[in-house]
Structure 1
Amino acid sequence: MTKSKAKRVVVTGIGAVTPFGVGIPVFWDGLVNGQSAIKETEEPELSQWSPVSAELKDLDPLQYLSKKQVRNTDRITQLSLIAAQEAMEDSGVNLEGEDLRRMGITVGTGYGGVQTLGEGTVQLVNNPKKRVSPRLLSKSIPNAAASALAMQYGFQGPAMTYTTACAASANSIGEAMYMLQRGEVDLMLAGGAESLFSPVILAGLRSAGAIAMDGPEDKSAWSRPFDTNRKGMVAGEGAAFLVLETYEKAVARGATLYGELAGYGTSNDAYHETAPHPNGDGAVIAMERALDTAGLQAHNIDYVNAHATATPAGDTAESKSLQRVFGDDLAAIPVNSIKGAIGHLLGTAGAIESISCLLSMKSGILPPTLNCDQPDSDAPPNLVRERSKKQEVTSVLTNSFGFGGQNGSLIWRKV
């Protein structure tokens, strides 16, 4: 029996809320111009655990959502609804007359609605006999964002949530690709959301040694991917979503195509609760699987968007894995990390970095790896540093690696 050829999957819409603000234009402008959205943490109860952060300041959700939506949702769901609205409008898809049973949602998040959980905990500590909000559960549960998006658009297909740490939205996008390729759905709204500005979560990340607790006098430069003097990640927040469709359906309706999702690979290190495998074994498996599903060889990749969170163990393991996968070809492949600009958005990372890759393919501009003044000895040799680089790219690999040994790699191709 001949194996049928998998359907091609393309992106027709993108939307984001990042530490730079609401919308793709402000995000991309900040990246390519080498700006940093990282600042000193203002709230005393948070700053002791995370002295600097990439928070989204001055966002009034009521400018984008109804009072009822804001009242009944946690911040990550609000961010999701705002980012998804931009992506859906950008796609130009008309839902009238469409079979909503064949449209679905995948969301990646590391923790879910931690701010709601934190508020409920404080209420109980202060008054153990007082009832918490009846909305606490529905607001904090990790699948709240997917549920809210399904209700917003009436999608009755799969509404799946992936809680695979920092690989969550890479997994959500890759798994959405599989659903489209199998012909189960016609359209997927895929992405991720995260907002970890809760004392208990930041305290946990601090105890795990993940958070940068000191750095240069210029606090906007504390996130230092691949730099010899990196001290750890800087926590950020945001949401990013992509509209995925089959190539045939997108072309038939005259949609704008940002790029093709050509490959996806996922794996687990099976090594440690928080630390990556020191030689990048799991990362290698994920990248090789992504190359295999894309039908590409390592030398066909002309740009890598690295996970590179600015943790010494994580950056080194990724560097070693890139060397193992690409060998001598790595010297000619530009590599960057955008976390120097926006910090680490955890469950959103794979989605927002995928959008960055798509915009690089479209514009021929590779954003810089900020604050990498002295690359360490293991760092990729062709790092994009200091300023954006003009270079046409056609096949791009982006990595997302997380606690629990979770790995996700995506390959985007120009169409």
Structure 2
Amino acid sequence: MQKKTRIVVTGMGAITPFGQGITSFWENLIAGKTAVRMTSDEQLRKWAPVTAEAATFSAEDFMERKLIRKTDRFSQMALAATAEALSDAGWKSREELNGDYDGNRVGIAMGCAFGGVQTLDEGMKRLAGGAAHAGPRLVPKSIPNAAAATIARQWGIHGPVITYSTACASSANAIGEASYWLRLGEADMVIAGGTECLFSPVILAGLRSAGALAVSGPEDDPGAWSRPFDAGRAGMVMGEGAGILILETYDHAVRRGAKIYAEFSGYGATNDAYHETAPDPTGFSAALAMTRALHQADIDPLQIDYVNAHATATQAGDAAESIALHEVFGNSLNRIPVSSIKGAVGHLLGAAAAVESIACIKALETETLPPTINCRQKDASAPADIVPDLSRHHRKIGFALSNSFGFGGQNGVLIWKNAASL
């Protein structure tokens, strides 16, 4: 492996609960706003009273009706985010992309925990209503790799196209594993990220039964139900969306004159081997993943200037992550700002790491730290500085670390380096 092969981000795209595009996401995030609202669907509201829906996203704004009929919402969001990311990187069409890159040398690494659950719901409803069949498109629309496969067809991509399904760490693993393709010379450019829409009665009911969802909070303020690091936190709020990054080798990005947003610096992956849903309370493997990412980046913990925490606002999860952070950073954690954006956009599950990586990259670019909102009484075990309530100017952010921890004990950690130092 060419360990020193440098990898950079040259394009970004997102669909989030704040709307379409990177600009909408970032401006609302640093303004301290929340996209968490009362759940619009009455049936879903029984299981999840509040959610962070991408309410303004309409597939019709991004694709033809024929393609909409062939795809589930999670694929549609991925397609829209990919189009933005590729356009941002300089390619507005399949022909333009193929002018710079051989489609055989382009890959797609997508993170997704479940796939097209809304299509599955529709099929079950049809059968329950007496229909003789569920429809020929049910399987190709609902399989977890449908989003990546559709993107490949739309853009003429013939390289490695792989979907990673590792719960909340899915898109962290997708981005991290994509880096190996570039370093091994298996691809010259990779579309990497994640997508998720789990607004399904059975999924939300299952998460509620597992004790993961926030089911109570201020009735007059649904936007305050997601409370990362708060002593009285009561569970996560489900969100939906997609985040896409364009990863290229540094040398090729420079040759084609691309704008470079950040450098991919390090990746660590581990498993708790502890419990199917609960994190290891010692934080051992979460800390190990951070240590591995630091080792790959070849930097000291003291060089991290910002941590984007996984912090979903569950009692056990936030506590275990706090312990892991203290283990890795020691007393220096007191000077490192740590924040979770899940108070603002909820938990995007398989898309969370990709969207949160975008937040890290924007923090590096703008010297602005996104806040942790809704933490009214900080848990005693939480990091000292969680950037409470309001965004903050922070000069010279050199490295940002992003944590993603999920069911099944899956841990994925990414480190991003400021492009100004390239």
Q: TM-score, normalised by structure 2?
A: 0.96
Alignment of 1:187-266 (within 5 A): 187-217=189-219, 218-266=221-269
Output one character per residue of 1:173-214: Cα deviation in whole Å (capped at 9) or x when no partner: 001111111111110000000001000000000000000000
Q: 1:330 aligns with which of 330, 333, 348?
A: 333
Q: 1:273 aligns with which of 264, 273, 276?
A: 276
Taking the aligned partners of 1:226 and 1:58, their CA distance within structure 2 comes to 29
The aligned residue for residue 351 of structure 1 is: 354
> How far has the Cα of 1:125 moved from its partner?
1.7
Output one character per residue of 1:296-348: Cα deviation in whole Å (capped at 9) or x when no partner: 11111111000000000000000000000000110010000000000000000
> How far has the Cα of 1:58 moved from its partner?
3.4
Taking the aligned partners of 1:267 and 1:60, their CA distance within structure 2 comes to 37
SS in 2 for 1:274: coil
> How far has the Cα of 1:72 moved from its partner?
0.2
Q: 2:319 aligns with which of 312, 316, 325?
A: 316
CA contact (8 A) 2:230 2:379 kept: yes
Q: 2:304 aligns with which of 278, 301, 305?
A: 301
Taking the aligned partners of 2:337 and 2:376, their CA distance within structure 1 comes to 16
Provide the aligned length of Structure 1 versus Structure 2. 412
SS in 2 for 1:399: strand
SS in 2 for 1:412: strand
Q: Does structure 1 residue 81 correspond to structure 2 residue 85?
A: no
Taking the aligned partners of 2:284 and 2:205, their CA distance within structure 1 comes to 29
How well do the aligned residues superpose, as a CA RMSD in angstroms? 0.9
More deviation, 4-13/296-305: 4-13
Taking the aligned partners of 1:281 and 1:303, their CA distance within structure 2 comes to 21
> How far has the Cα of 1:383 moved from its partner?
1.1
> How far has the Cα of 1:86 moved from its partner?
0.2
SS in 1 for 2:259: coil
Taking the aligned partners of 1:267 and 1:155, their CA distance within structure 2 comes to 30
SS in 1 for 2:323: helix
Q: 2:29 aligns with which of 17, 28, 31?
A: 31
CA contact (8 A) 2:15 2:57 kept: no
Q: 1:400 aligns with which of 398, 401, 404?
A: 404
The aligned residue for residue 59 of structure 1 is: 57
SS in 2 for 1:150: helix
> How far has the Cα of 1:216 moved from its partner?
1.8
Unaligned runs of 5+ in 1: none
Q: 1:157 aligns with which of 117, 141, 159?
A: 159
1:139 is matched by which residue type in structure 2?
K
Taking the aligned partners of 1:168 and 1:28, their CA distance within structure 2 comes to 22
Unaligned runs of 5+ in 2: none
Taking the aligned partners of 2:180 and 2:300, their CA distance within structure 1 comes to 21
Q: Does structure 1 residue 182 correspond to structure 2 residue 180?
A: no
CA contact (8 A) 2:2 2:184 kept: no
1:176 is matched by which residue type in structure 2?
A
The aligned residue for residue 416 of structure 2 is: 412
SS in 2 for 1:214: coil
The aligned residue for residue 14 of structure 1 is: 12
> How far has the Cα of 1:42 moved from its partner?
2.2
Q: Which runs of structure 1 show a deviation greater than 3 angstroms over 4 or more consecutive aligned residues?
A: none
> How far has the Cα of 1:373 moved from its partner?
1.1
CA contact (8 A) 1:6 1:182 kept: no
1:326 is matched by which residue type in structure 2?
F
Q: TM-score, normalised by structure 1?
A: 0.98
The aligned residue for residue 132 of structure 1 is: 134
Taking the aligned partners of 1:100 and 1:58, their CA distance within structure 2 comes to 33
> How far has the Cα of 1:36 moved from its partner?
0.3
Output one character per residue of 1:49-86: Cα deviation in whole Å (capped at 9) or x when no partner: 00000011132211110111100000000000000000
The aligned residue for residue 364 of structure 1 is: 367
